[in-house]
Copies of this chain bind each other. A is one copy, B any other.
């Protein structure tokens, strides 16, 4: 089941607490890899691996100047995830609305939810 859909990558990236901590830090402004490494309390190598995941899912961008790589938020991934969730929630809510309309109608012929 090794999918490479964008949604897979984004949600998988967000599933890790350390990666979310990186994102939370970066919303406050850019940071170097070593700073993030200190923040998480893990090795530089581990941090770099997290950043690779975050960049692949377009949640973070980074550029290297001299010997320091500076990371910042990439809004693309964030928006993609937000959009999927919003779509699900609104679809669900609209369905409930329609259901309410039907149940509130003056002539309620016995209504049954189709399951198949």
- Residues of A at the B interface (CB closer than 8 Å) are 1, 3, 5, 7-8, 11-12, 14-18, 20, 23-24, 26-32, 35, 70, 73, 75, 78-79, 81-82, 84-86, 88-89, 91-92, 95, 113-116
Complex CA gap A111/B91 in Å reads: 46
A27 touches B115 (CB 8 A): no
Copies of this chain per assembly: 2
Secondary structure of the A side of the interface?
helix
Q: Which of B28, B84, B92, B116 contacts A75 (CB 8 A)?
A: B92
CB pair B27 A91 closer than 8 Å: yes
- CB distance A30 to B115 under 8 Å? yes
Contact B115 A31 (CB under 8 A): yes
CB-CB nearest in chain B for A12: B15
Supply 10 A–B pairs (Cβ within 8 Å), ascending by A.
A1-B17, A8-B17, A14-B14, A27-B95, A35-B115, A70-B115, A75-B92, A78-B85, A78-B88, A82-B85
